[in-house]
Amino acid sequence: MESRALKDKATEAFGKGRFAKAAELYEDYCQAEPKDHQSRLRMGDAWSKAGQRDRAVSAYQSAAEGFAKEGFLPRAIAASKLILELDPSHQGVQQMLADLYARRGTPATTKAKPKD
């Protein structure tokens, strides 16, 4: 099946609440289009909604790493935070977030400072 058709079918399955099927279709699509990190995020969403936490974490981590390699640091940070929502004690994600924030030039935890 053509990659665009796979993505369309995955989107359709997701919209119909067939999350496991959507995730499988996104997985096939992402194998054909490895640089489509947004679809990897969507695959993670589908696995999460299907109750497959470990597979969701794996998809989110792949998306985060891909976004980071291409310089899309805010997206990489957002994908990393999705991992922590599913698995707050995930090994390495806190360090990955710290590295991403450092690359972006923003402290990992920011507090609003009162204006003088």
Q: What is the pLDDT along the chain (116 residues), one digit of tens a residue?
A: 799 999 999 999 999 999 999 999 999 999 999 999 999 999 999 999 999 999 999 999 999 999 999 999 999 999 999 999 999 988 788 889 889 989 888 655 544 444 54
116 vs 109: CA distance, rounded Å: 21
54: left (phi over 0), alpha (psi -120 to 50) or beta: alpha
How high is the pLDDT of residue 92?
86
How high is the pLDDT of residue 94?
86
Q: Among 57, 1, 54, 47, which residue's Cα sits nearest to residue 24? A: 47
How high is the pLDDT of residue 112?
43
59 vs 44: CA distance, rounded Å: 5
Domains of the chain: 3-104 (1.25.40.10)
Question: Model-level pTM?
Answer: 0.85
Q: How far apart are the first and last CA of the chain?
A: 61
Distances from the Cα of 48 to the Cαs of 40, 43, 45, 62, 104, in angstroms? Answer: 12, 8, 5, 15, 28
